[in-house]
């Protein structure tokens, strides 16, 4: 795993969350953890190709995703992650990943990202795997985990 890849995603996520939902997230502890399916969670998966290849996954509880989407939609309250909600949370992952790939490019890395894929816990039946992980805590909203599985 390439540790230098997580910093642009962390920097980008903080910036995008501040702009989109007007919350300054605090950063948790960086660590390696085993990623496995968790009930009532949503993952936004973005693939990377180029000098780094693998996936970056943004993990969050479904209720946290609903709160974020509600703010993104001007306060319109969603009670379930429907098609519109999935589109909005997917766009959040796209904004974070796009900014991070620009940061990496400015640092001299050649990278490209794939369109984000939103997965719910019941759709995410993969084998547990290790990822470099850092949580972002958003007061009054919840937590967003940035999980990097890049080689």
Q: What is the CATH number of the domain that holds 113?
A: 3.40.1550.10
Among residues 64, 57, 65, 58, the alpha carbon closest in space to that of 85 is found at 65
According to the model, what pLDDT value does residue 78 have? Answer: 87
Digit-coded pLDDT (tens) for 46-100: 999 999 899 999 999 999 999 999 999 888 888 889 999 999 999 999 999 999 9
Higher-confidence position of 66 and 126: 66
**What CA–CA distance (Å, rounded) separates 86 from 15?**
21
Instruction: Give the residue numbers spanning the domain of 23.
Output: 3-150
According to the model, what pLDDT value does residue 127 have? Answer: 62
CB 133 within 8 A of CB 43: no
pTM: 0.90
Q: Which range, of 11-20, 31-40, 123-132, averages the lowest pLDDT?
A: 123-132
Number of structural domains (the chain) is 1
């Amino acid at each position: 795993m390439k540790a230098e890849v997580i910093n642009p995603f962390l920097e980008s996520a903080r910036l995008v969350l501040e702009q989109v939902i007007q919350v300054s997230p605090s950063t948790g502890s960086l660590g390696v953890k085993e990623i496995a399916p968790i009930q009532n969670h949503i993952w936004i998966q973005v693939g990377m190709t180029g000098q780094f290849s693998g996936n970056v996954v943004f993990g969050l509880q479904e209720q946290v995703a609903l709160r974020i989407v509600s703010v993104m939609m001007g306060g319109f309250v969603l009670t379930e992650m429907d098609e519109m909600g999935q589109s909005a949370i997917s766009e959040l992952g796209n904004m974070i990943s796009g900014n991070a790939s620009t940061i990496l490019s400015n640092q001299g890395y050649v990278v490209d990202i794939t369109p984000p894929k939103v997965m719910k816990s019941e759709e995410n039946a993969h084998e547990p795997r290790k990822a470099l992980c850092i949580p972002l805590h958003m007061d009054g909203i919840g937590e967003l985990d940035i999980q990097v599985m890049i080689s």
